[in-house]
């Protein structure tokens, strides 16, 4: 069922979301200061590629001081808008019965896109 869900996800916009995450991650990696943020965007992009059957969980010994500081910078830099986009897409997809599983995957990505530092894909 996870494979079927992932295929439908890719065909109905998941591939576009992943490409956007990767492109913005590459742009962030062009600067030394942006590399940590680019790495987080790559992680979220990988998670967005195959969300069914995977979870984003806290890493070992998390949250640490650096993780909290980087998450605060992430929010202050305006990256919280990614979480807002996932909420809106999830609400739109949940209008139809067929879109509910895809909407739930968007809702599952909200914590990952709001506070990405210290998370691991499992």
With beta carbons less than 8 A apart as the criterion, state whether 113 and 86 touch: yes
pLDDT digits (tens, 9 = 90+) for 21-44: 999 999 999 999 999 999 999 999
Tell me which residue of 53, 55, 57, 56 sits closest to 6, measured CA to CA.
53
Q: If 0-12 CB within 10 Å is exposed, 13-18 middle and 19+ buried, where does residue 44 land?
A: buried
Give the percent of the chain with pLDDT over 90. Answer: 57
| Angle at alpha carbon of residue 68, lines to 33 and 114, rounded to 5° | 80
- Confidence bin at 18 (pLDDT 50/70/90): very high
Range of the domain at 15: 2-121
pLDDT digits (tens, 9 = 90+) for 77-122: 888 888 999 999 999 999 999 899 999 999 999 988 998 998 888 8
What is the pTM (predicted TM-score) of this model? 0.88
Compute the distance between CA of residue 57 and CA of residue 115 in angstroms, rounded to an integer. Answer: 11
Q: How many domains does the chain have?
A: 1
């Amino acid at each position: 069922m996870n494979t079927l869900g992932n295929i439908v996800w890719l065909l109905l916009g998941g591939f576009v979301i992943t490409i956007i995450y990767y492109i913005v991650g590459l742009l962030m990696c062009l600067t030394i200061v942006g590399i940590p943020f680019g790495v987080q965007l790559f992680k979220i992009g990988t998670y967005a590629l195959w969300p069914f059957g995977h979870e984003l969980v806290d890493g070992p010994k998390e949250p640490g001081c650096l993780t909290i500081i980087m998450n605060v910078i992430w929010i202050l830099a305006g990256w919280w808008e990614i979480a807002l986009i996932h909420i809106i897409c999830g609400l739109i997809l949940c209008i139809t019965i067929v879109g509910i599983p895809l909407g739930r995957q968007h809702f599952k990505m909200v914590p990952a896109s709001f506070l990405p530092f210290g998370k691991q894909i499992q």
